Structure 1
Amino acid sequence: MPVKHEKHSIVSMILLLVFIFLATDIIGKNIHKYYFKSLFRKNDREKEYRIPSNYYHHGLKPNINITKTLWGNVFYPIATNSLGFKDKRPREILLSSGSYRILFIGDSFTEGVGIAYENTFVGIIDNVLQKKGIEVLNAAVCTYSPSSYYAKVKYLIDVAGLKFNELVVFIDISDIRDEAVLYRLDGDKVVDRKEELKINAALNEKYKADLKKKRGCYQKIEEILRRDTIMTYLMVKNVHDLFFSRDFSYDYDSINFREASWTFNKGIYDEFGRAGLEKCAGSMDRLANLCRDKKIILTIAVYPWPDQIVHHDLNSLQSQFWTNWAKKSGVKIINYFPHFIQPNDDTARIRAILDSYFIPGDVHWNNEGHRKVANIFLSDFSIQTIK
């Protein structure tokens, strides 16, 4: 009888210790979340410098200098020049320059969210080319798409009076969704697509619900543990990894985005991909014609999201479409897909690429990703002339 009582006491003690450990872990996680939530709220200053535009929908406030702002879980400084372009510091930009001048435009990747200007690919290119007497400006802003590219460049040339020699447009994977459901051109100005946006919101919810249904029992448990604990999650994860391989979706919040999936998912391509490409091409045609009229060299660039890397989407619809468009339009294209994706990449190689070049839990490049993009651009750069 004493032996049985002793075993019962040991089991009770173990259960009590497990309960105390789990309770402490949950409390610690909640303190951690509360602390960082307060810290993030304090430093979330985007509303101070992201402003609306009557011409190109939205932009950045001119001549701001904020030492700490927030993108996701990343703190970084941001400054803009007199034109409202992200820059190394607030400064006056002359509308006309005696130097060869390159204007970059794109969305959040080209703006360089989460990264100080000097570490963005545009900032790195700027630093290198200024030593050769070439001036670099960055007109990119989050959630721009081809209609924004056209409207902003048109405004900068015809209204602001900005002079430049070359335009480099980084066309994002999400531009196709944005052009189909968010924005449209009304004359030379960008306006919202209201009805399409409502339909897209409903389809987004369906897509997220379908993803949840596909998750296995263990993945659901790990998701709960990651949300509510620290040590328990790490212990369970490490034990699981000893015996089982891990799906990318366990560790990377940067994949399974609907706006990126149109290049390899036919259903999503049918929802907005086909129409989005057509609308993008229309806006880019107008931009190409504008550049020809103003004798401005046009270059475009395309690059993958983590979703394309995970799905080995080397010969992507994105790169194929814009390669054909560039050939037809007589403009240079820089295709970054082969620099991030190789046909025989295994799981370890894909994980290394995602860990090396992207902000954790984010689709955007980290410092090394921006350096890679800049180096590829610079390795092939030469001043072009109008043919």
Structure 2
Amino acid sequence: MRLFASLKAYLKPAAIVIGIILVLDLALAQILKRGTEFWAGTYPHMDHRVRSADYHHTFAPGREVIERWGRITYRFATNSLGFKDAAPRAVKAKRDGPRLLLLGDSFTEGAGYGFPETFAGRIAAAMDKNGVEVLNAAVGSYAPIIYNLKTRYLLDKVGLQFDHVVIFLDVSDIYDEAKGYRTDARGRLIVPPETPEKTSRVIGHFLRDNSMIGRAFTLIRDQLSGARKALKLRWRAASESGESFFSVSDAALQIYAITDKAAGRWTYDDEAWRDHGADGRQKAAGQLDRLFTYLKNRKIPMTLAIYPWPDQILFDPEAPRHLGFWRDWAAARGIQFIDLFAAFTDGASVETLLRYFIAGDFHWNEQGHALTAAAFLRQFKD
């Protein structure tokens, strides 16, 4: 009994202290959430990326948030159509002047950068001087089946007016057509139903977003995970390049971080070609054929633009399975073809990957976006 009484005497003040700490912890977290960008920038909410029953996924309209891509934090905004834009704004369905619609995946969305820094934003700024409005309907992980469905949705259901469509076909679109999207027996896209998060994940996110202690724990865990991945990459780069583990060059790290990706090597790797390349390209061509016919019936021109991944820059600069195929496909249909390969592959070297791509990522940095915009504007004829 004495022991119990003694413990009880200590437990009560301990509980009070713990309670005070928790209250202060939660209160300070709320202050930081409302008063600093650091809180939003470390683990930003992604509720502006939403499901679409018509074409799988899209952006919520009229949003302005902080997004994070790897180590890059940037401002992200959408207009009233749910398209990435410089700032929230109302876009009218009808317009007196010409309007260009861009479609693509994360490259065209501009992963890691606000709209003005992306190639789409740069094209929009250049064409605005000539009275042409550019709308960017791209979203990460889109593929030809989505380009087809979203274009029809915008014209048939939204009543959006545009005079030209440019498809920026990504190397990974072929993989996504083969592996990422499924259709039913009638060829309709299957949009998986939303599934509720596991209770453990909900609790973890709540503590991360509302507690200083919870956020500190999550940050430490993720930093350790990132450090482990960096060490594994350095070890691989050192082993395969013959360089010292402690003095591996930035070039070697970049090569092994952003090349030899499953979705990118089908253009030159026969096993990947057999696994998903041939099937995915056939499906992509079928979707783009349907989109081309649909637009042609509405007298809306279509342009096809092709660009390389780091894999093609280093290992397959001519890319006959991709660049060659789509050049011929466009020519057979009288479609304007924009070759963005040459801007990256002419005189290409490992330095090209360092100059135009985000460190450790196969997406473009600001210089890569600027190069893409300039190459497109030189070739595009409306």
Instruction: Give the TM-score band, short-chain normalised.
Output: 0.7 to 0.9
Q: Distance in 2 between matches of 1:239 and 1:113?
A: 30
Are the counterparts in 2 of residues 150 and 286 from structure 1 also a CA contact under 8 Å?
A: yes
Secondary structure, in 3 states, of the residue corresponding to 1:259? coil
Q: Distance in 1 between matches of 2:255 and 2:86?
A: 34
Secondary structure, in 3 states, of the residue corresponding to 1:156? helix
Q: Distance in 2 between matches of 1:131 and 1:272?
A: 43
Q: 1:46 and 1:360, CA in 2 relative to 1: closer, same or farther beyond 3 A? A: farther
The C-alpha deviation readout for 1:90-138, integer Å capped at 9, x for no partner, is: 0010001001100000000000010110011110011111111111000
Question: What corresponds to 2:216 in structure 1?
Answer: none
Q: 1:326 and 1:189, CA in 2 relative to 1: closer, same or farther beyond 3 A? A: same
Q: 1:42 and 1:368, CA in 2 relative to 1: closer, same or farther beyond 3 A? A: closer
Counterpart among 71, 74, 85 of residue 73 in structure 1: 71
Tell me by how many angstroms 1:222 deviates.
Answer: 8.9
1:270 aligns to 2:274 (yes or no) = yes
Are the counterparts in 1 of residues 145 and 284 from structure 2 also a CA contact under 8 Å?
A: yes
Q: 1:74 and 1:371, CA in 2 relative to 1: closer, same or farther beyond 3 A? A: same
Tell me by how many angstroms 1:339 deviates.
Answer: 1.5
Q: Distance in 1 between matches of 2:287 and 2:79?
A: 27
Are the counterparts in 1 of residues 233 and 256 from structure 2 also a CA contact under 8 Å?
A: no
Counterpart among 279, 285, 299 of residue 281 in structure 1: 285
1:148 aligns to 2:142 (yes or no) = no
The C-alpha deviation readout for 1:177-227, integer Å capped at 9, x for no partner, is: 100111145568532599xxxxxxxxxxxxxxxxxxxxxxxxx99944959
Counterpart among 284, 290, 296 of residue 292 in structure 1: 296
1:126 aligns to 2:116 (yes or no) = no
Matches within 5 A, 1:340-379: 340-342=344-346, 345=347, 349-379=348-378
TM-score by length of 2: 0.74
Deviates more, 1:45-54 or 1:270-279: 45-54
Tell me by how many angstroms 1:76 deviates.
Answer: 1.0
Q: 1:261 and 1:98, CA in 2 relative to 1: closer, same or farther beyond 3 A? A: same
Are the counterparts in 1 of residues 251 and 350 from structure 2 also a CA contact under 8 Å?
A: no
Counterpart among 163, 166, 179 of residue 181 in structure 1: 179
Are the counterparts in 2 of residues 184 and 193 from structure 1 also a CA contact under 8 Å?
A: no
1:190 aligns to 2:194 (yes or no) = no
Question: What corresponds to 1:315 in structure 2?
Answer: 319
The C-alpha deviation readout for 1:18-57, integer Å capped at 9, x for no partner, is: xxxxxxxxxxxxxxxxxxxxx7985333522100000100
Q: Distance in 2 between matches of 1:56 and 1:312?
A: 32
Question: What corresponds to 1:58 in structure 2?
Answer: 57
Secondary structure, in 3 states, of the residue corresponding to 2:128? helix
Secondary structure, in 3 states, of the residue corresponding to 1:333? strand
Q: Distance in 2 between matches of 1:240 and 1:365?
A: 23
Question: What fraction of aligned residue pairs are identical, expressed as a percent?
Answer: 37
Q: Distance in 2 between matches of 1:333 and 1:225?
A: 37
Secondary structure, in 3 states, of the residue corresponding to 2:67? strand
Counterpart among 339, 344, 358 of residue 343 in structure 2: 339
Q: Distance in 2 between matches of 1:294 and 1:86?
A: 25
Question: What corresponds to 1:49 in structure 2?
Answer: 48
Matches within 5 A, 1:84-99: 84-99=82-97
Question: What corresponds to 2:133 in structure 1?
Answer: 135
Aligned residues: 303
Which letter does structure 2 place at the counterpart of 1:126? Answer: A
Matches within 5 A, 1:205-224: 223-224=231-232
Q: Distance in 2 between matches of 1:134 and 1:238?
A: 52
Name structure 2 gaps, 5 residues minimum.
Answer: 1-37, 194-227, 236-242
Are the counterparts in 2 of residues 151 and 188 from structure 1 also a CA contact under 8 Å?
A: no
Q: 1:177 and 1:100, CA in 2 relative to 1: closer, same or farther beyond 3 A? A: same
Q: 1:113 and 1:150, CA in 2 relative to 1: closer, same or farther beyond 3 A? A: same
Which letter does structure 2 place at the counterpart of 1:122? Answer: A
Which letter does structure 2 place at the counterpart of 1:44? Answer: Y
Tell me by how many angstroms 1:381 deviates.
Answer: 2.8
Secondary structure, in 3 states, of the residue corresponding to 1:132? coil
Q: Distance in 1 between matches of 2:285 and 2:39?
A: 39
Question: What corresponds to 1:161 in structure 2?
Answer: 159
Q: Distance in 1 between matches of 2:68 and 2:248?
A: 34
Question: What corresponds to 1:8 in structure 2?
Answer: none
Q: Distance in 2 between matches of 1:351 and 1:40?
A: 36
TM-score by length of 1: 0.73
Tell me by how many angstroms 1:267 deviates.
Answer: 0.6
Which letter does structure 2 place at the counterpart of 1:100? Answer: P
Secondary structure, in 3 states, of the residue corresponding to 2:272? helix
Secondary structure, in 3 states, of the residue corresponding to 2:149? helix
The C-alpha deviation readout for 1:156-178, integer Å capped at 9, x for no partner, is: 00001101000000000000010
